[in-house]
């Protein structure tokens, strides 16, 4: 029953995001530079981008990002794509987000959505939440939750979209 509810919720979220013609220009903060940037301007036109939404208190989120990070160098040898993360932690946790990312050796961009404005714009409820943005800057795939090995399904979708 829980799986059915999760699937229905995911379909509802999918329908609302796919109904959007453009990615939102909602402001998020680059944790390294401290500068605000529009979400829709964080993507390279003509390149697929994987986005992981997470929080410092979310154990499955950290596991997913750790697994993706470990596989990222090999994946990016096989397929040219970008990866970034967006924390949904509150603004007072920005230092915690930064120190966690640094301690994990993240070499990819990481942002924070301190007031959950982007989360509301994209209309999702829980993390981990994964988006794949296609070469045209449109949402091509989304997924809520994380199970060990689920990153392989995500990478298969990236390969398909990057052709």
CA 120 to chain centre: 14
Residue-range definition of the domain harbouring residue 53: 2-162
pLDDT for res 11:
44
pLDDT for res 153:
95
Residue 95 has pLDDT above 60, yes or no: yes
| Length, in residues, of the chain | 163
* Six-digit token string for 155: 């990478």
Instruction: Report helix, strand or coil for 11.
Output: helix
DSSP assigned state of 1: -
- Between CA 87 and CA 127, with CA 20 as vertex, the angle to 5 degrees is 25
The pLDDT tens digits for 63-77 are: 999 999 999 999 999
- Contact present, 119 and 111 (Cβ < 8 Å): no
Give the number of other CB atoms < 10 A from CB of residue 162. Answer: 15
Instruction: Report helix, strand or coil for 93.
Output: helix
DSSP assigned state of 109: -
Backbone φ and ψ for 116, nearest 5 degrees, come out as: 60, 25
Residue 46 has pLDDT above 50, yes or no: yes
This prediction's pTM: 0.86
The domain that contains 23 carries what CATH number? 3.40.30.10
Peptide bond into 56 cis (omega under 30): no
First vs last C-alpha separation in the chain? 37
Query: How many distinct structural domains can be found in the chain?
Result: 1
Taken in order 51, 56, 61, 64, is the CA torsion positive or negative? positive
Residue 16 has pLDDT above 60, yes or no: no
Element holding 146 (H helix, E strand): none
Residue 150 has pLDDT above 80, yes or no: yes
């Amino acid at each position: 029953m829980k799986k059915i509810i999760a699937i229905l919720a995911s379909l509802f979220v999918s329908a609302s995001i796919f109904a959007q013609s453009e990615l939102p220009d909602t402001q998020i903060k680059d944790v390294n530079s401290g500068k605000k940037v529009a979400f829709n301007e964080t993507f390279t036109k003509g390149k697929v981008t994987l986005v992981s939404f997470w929080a410092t208190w979310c154990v499955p989120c950290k596991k997913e990002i750790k697994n993706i990070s470990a596989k990222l160098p090999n994946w990016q040898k096989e397929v040219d794509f970008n990866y970034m993360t967006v924390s949904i932690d509150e603004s007072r946790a920005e230092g915690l987000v930064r120190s966690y990312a640094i301690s994990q050796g993240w070499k990819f961009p990481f942002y924070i959505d301190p007031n959950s404005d982007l989360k509301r714009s994209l209309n999702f409820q829980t993390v981990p939440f994964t988006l794949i943005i296609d070469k045209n800057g449109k949402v091509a795939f989304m997924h809520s939750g994380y199970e060990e090995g689920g990153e392989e399904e995500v990478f298969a979708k990236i390969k398909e979209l990057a052709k």
